[in-house]
Amino acid sequence: MATKEEEIWSRAEQYIVEHLLGRDEALDSVLAAAQAAGMPDIQVSPTHGKLLMLLAQMHGAKKILEIGTLAGYSTIWLARALPAEGKLVTLEFDPKHAAVARGNIAKAGFAERVEVRVGSALDTLPLLKAEGTGPFDFVFIDANKTGYSDYLGWALQLTQRGSVIVADNAVQAGRIADADSDDTTVQAIRSFIEKLGAEPRVSATIVQCVGSKGYDGLAIGIVTGD
């Protein structure tokens, strides 16, 4: 049952979607396919999907890395930011999620530009490094929260000065401020934030957000050193 505040956040989001995003049949069909496949409703909100696209567009990103594909919803938003010769690699642990995502990405017209890699990201990221697939201009981290600190380390190995790193779920309804939390997700995000803060090669902040997905936030950083 939504609280009064959550209802206000959702109504405001609907209003924003209506006026700034409009109807999006391609992405509606991604959500329908995800629901039909019984996948969890944990993709980014439409407003955050568009924010990811705008950030990647503002940055002129040509090579994007995503960690955590699900049904390809955020993948498609990010792929929309790419130029024709651009490339997006997205990493997904669950083969069923990857299969649904591949179908959705192909239907959205991005099969040529997007590669879905199946496996644990901690196995795939070293392969990308070994293959010389990077450097990526833009990295979006949105997989298992316990992996975030390691993903940050890999993101730094796979980017270059000027690259952008974004990570979802960085506020956890404000619980990140609770040092004594016994929640492993909260502690994993705290470790990620503290690693980000101690990392001399990145300048970052976290934007707190409310909306249909509740109260959370996006970490946004730029790689400032090699």
Ligand X SMILES: C[S@@+](CC[C@H](N)C(=O)[O-])C[C@H]1O[C@@H](n2cnc3c(N)ncnc32)[C@H](O)[C@@H]1O
Sign of the torsion angle spanned by Cα atoms 78, 214, 92, 66: positive
Nearer Cβ to ligand X, position 88 or 206? Answer: 88
| Residue carrying the six token digits 């019984």 | 38
Extended beta strands in the chain, E state? 63-67, 87-92, 114-118, 136-141, 159-167, 202-211, 214-223
Nearer Cβ to ligand X, position 160 or 184? Answer: 184
Contact 161, 223 (CB under 8 A): yes
Residue 119 structure tokens: 């496996």
Q: Out of 137, 142, 199, 216, name the contact with ligand X by CB under 6 A.
A: 142
Please work out the total of residues on this chain that contact ligand X, with binding judged by CB under 6 A: 19
Question: Alpha-carbon distance 161 to 172, whole Å?
Answer: 29
Work out whether 143 is an interface residue with ligand X (CB under 6 A): yes
Least Å from the CB of residue 106 to ligand X: 16
Work out whether 148 is an interface residue with ligand X (CB under 6 A): no
Least Å from the CB of residue 4 to ligand X: 27
Residues 1-40 that bind ligand X (CB under 6 A): none
Nearer Cβ to ligand X, position 88 or 91? Answer: 91
DSSP assignment letter at 147: G
Work out whether 145 is an interface residue with ligand X (CB under 6 A): no
Contact 114, 94 (CB under 8 A): no
Work out whether 120 is an interface residue with ligand X (CB under 6 A): yes
Q: Which stretch binds ligand X (CB under 6 A): 12-20, 87-95, 126-134, 198-206?
A: 87-95
Least Å from the CB of residue 65 to ligand X: 12
Work out whether 144 is an interface residue with ligand X (CB under 6 A): yes
In terms of DSSP bridges, do strands 87-92 and 114-118 run parallel, antiparallel, or are they unpaired? parallel
Question: Alpha-carbon distance 124 to 110, whole Å?
Answer: 21
Work out whether 74 is an interface residue with ligand X (CB under 6 A): yes
Q: Out of 13, 92, 199, 216, name the contact with ligand X by CB under 6 A.
A: 92
Residues 42-61 that bind ligand X (CB under 6 A): 42-44
Question: Alpha-carbon distance 83 to 57, whole Å?
Answer: 9
Q: Which of 106, 121, 21 is nearest to 72 (CA)?
A: 106
Nearer Cβ to ligand X, position 8 or 54? Answer: 54
Question: Alpha-carbon distance 112 to 15, whole Å?
Answer: 34
Least Å from the CB of residue 183 to ligand X: 17
Site residues (CB under 6 A) for ligand X? Answer: 42-44, 68-70, 73-74, 91-94, 97, 120-121, 142-144, 147
